[in-house]
Amino acid sequence: MAIKAVRGVHDILPADAPRWQRVEAVAREVFEAYGYKEIRPPIFERTELFARGIGEVTDIVQKEMYTFEDRTGESLTLRPEATASVLRAYVEHGLHVQPKPVRLYTIGPMFRYERPQAGRYRQFHQLNLEALGEVHPALDAEVIAVLMELFGRLGLADRLTLSLNSIGDGACRPAYRENLVAYLRQNAGELCGECRARTERNPLRVLDCKQPGCQPTLEKAPSILDWLCQGCAQHFSRVRDYLDAMDLAYRVTPRLVRGFDYYVRTTFELLTGELGAQNAVAGGGRYDGLVQLLEGPPDPGIGFAVGMERVVLLLPAAPAEAVPLALLIPLGEAALVRLLSVARGVRSRGLAVELGYGARKLRNELDRANRLKVPYVVIVGDGELQKGEALIRDMGSGAQRPVPLDRLEEALMAMKSGEPR
């Protein structure tokens, strides 16, 4: 049996590529308008980077990493997310000496051993954006504005909701956490097994549970927003003021916690009602302290990741693929030799054409032209060669006209730009 792709990965086929290219092109345009520069870290790193950066107790590190030993026995991991790698590079290359905030973005594949389903893959792609070295809440609002601008330009903003929360910091979260754990233990009987296990391991994540049976209990759980210290409360209220000033709509969602240990204060997610259970299109937050955890300077940071598969699923199917302007049909070897250089000439000037190989019958080549849907064919047989001509046939009307061979390249170029022929 033919070898198939591994479970949970997918091919991006030529018919889908235009939508992917569009997402990437729009992202680059928007990110660069806001001053972000591209960085491309490798897709594997020392396992330790993710264990430390993402947090030992997170689902990602505990169950979802593609970890392997290389030939020297060193433990390596295919990156499950980009932030840890970007920050490693930031520290390693001393990018922190640049004027702050240092604004970086990266686009590429991530790997997580999750249970595959619609919109959830084991190799998926993200757009990642990080702003480093600035604590001001206006930066939080700006990063969210970049995200909304991206989806606005893709024509998707109206179909998405922005959820916003603050999950406090090292000063206020521990007390909240204790209070939450006490509540969850008291109500353990009302919660699913996973929630009970998470109560002990990673209690904030319990709030993320999607089980209908758990909802009544979780809705009544203590809210982090009632526990924020003055610094966090002020930060959050200023982020909201700045978002309001930019007319960016959001919904405050006290139960929004994220799958990484490193977040503090602002967290956010962009949600859709159109993709079933996989309703998050993007997520992000502030991660002050993470650069330092990776042995860099005490630079704060904030960023987001957009799931490209999910964005592509929301986009309308791309218009029909671009077709070449013409199929050049040489009938015989001598004509092929002549048309090879014409094809090369127009292609190097950016015009797409197809070329036959001179070995097939005209009827077969015309058949191919119809299947390619090219608007024109150019026919050169022995007769035409002797007269120094090529025949250009309009496939729509069937009309044919001769063109001197030495002016064929120019004629094709003129047809491209729609000039009268």
Q: What's the closest the beta carbon of residue 388 comes to ligand AMP, in angstroms?
A: 58
Do 346 and 58 contact (CB within 8 A), yes or no?
A: no
By CB under 6 A, the residues from 233 to 272 that bind ligand AMP are: 259
Is 124 or 227 the residue whose CB approaches ligand AMP more closely? 124
**Window contacting ligand AMP (CB under 6 A); options: 94-102, 117-125, 347-355, 356-364:** 117-125
User: x/- site string to ligand AMP, residues 307 to 346, per CB under 6 A?
Assistant: x-xx------------------------------------
Q: What's the closest the beta carbon of residue 82 comes to ligand AMP, in angstroms?
A: 8
Neighbours of 245 (CB within 10 A): 10
d(CA 100, CA 223): 34
**Window contacting ligand AMP (CB under 6 A); options: 232-240, 274-282, 360-368, 402-410:** 274-282
Is 55 or 330 the residue whose CB approaches ligand AMP more closely? 55
Q: What's the closest the beta carbon of residue 112 comes to ligand AMP, in angstroms?
A: 5
Q: What's the closest the beta carbon of residue 419 comes to ligand AMP, in angstroms?
A: 46
Do 328 and 356 contact (CB within 8 A), yes or no?
A: yes
**Window contacting ligand AMP (CB under 6 A); options: 86-94, 101-109, 113-121, 167-175:** 113-121
112 bridge partner residues: none
Q: What's the closest the beta carbon of residue 233 comes to ligand AMP, in angstroms?
A: 25
Is 119 or 137 the residue whose CB approaches ligand AMP more closely? 119
d(CA 4, CA 6): 6
126 touches ligand AMP by CB under 6 A: yes
Size of the site for ligand AMP (CB under 6 A): 16
274 touches ligand AMP by CB under 6 A: no
Q: What's the closest the beta carbon of residue 259 comes to ligand AMP, in angstroms?
A: 5
Q: What's the closest the beta carbon of residue 285 comes to ligand AMP, in angstroms?
A: 9
Is 280 or 369 the residue whose CB approaches ligand AMP more closely? 280
Q: What's the closest the beta carbon of residue 306 comes to ligand AMP, in angstroms?
A: 6
Cis check for the bond before 101: say yes or no (omega within 30 of 0). Answer: yes
d(CA 79, CA 49): 10
Angle between the 333-348 and 408-416 helix axes, to the nearest 10 degrees? 40
By CB under 6 A, the residues from 275 to 314 that bind ligand AMP are: 280-283, 305, 307, 309-310
112 touches ligand AMP by CB under 6 A: yes
CB-based contacts of 16, cutoff 8 Å, min separation 6:
312, 318
Is 149 or 269 the residue whose CB approaches ligand AMP more closely? 269
114 touches ligand AMP by CB under 6 A: yes
102 touches ligand AMP by CB under 6 A: no
User: x/- site string to ligand AMP, residues 135 to 174, per CB under 6 A?
Assistant: ----------------------------------------
Site for ligand AMP (CB under 6 A): which residue of 36, 105, 121, 263? 121
Is 114 or 394 the residue whose CB approaches ligand AMP more closely? 114
User: x/- site string to ligand AMP, residues 56 to 85, per CB under 6 A?
Assistant: -------------------------x----
Site for ligand AMP (CB under 6 A): which residue of 50, 90, 105, 124? 124
Answer positive or negative: Cα dihedral of 47, 310, 265, 302: positive
Q: What's the closest the beta carbon of residue 117 comes to ligand AMP, in angstroms?
A: 9
Residues of the shown chain interacting with ligand AMP in the complex, contacts defined by CB under 6 A: 81, 112, 114, 120-121, 124, 126, 259, 280-283, 305, 307, 309-310
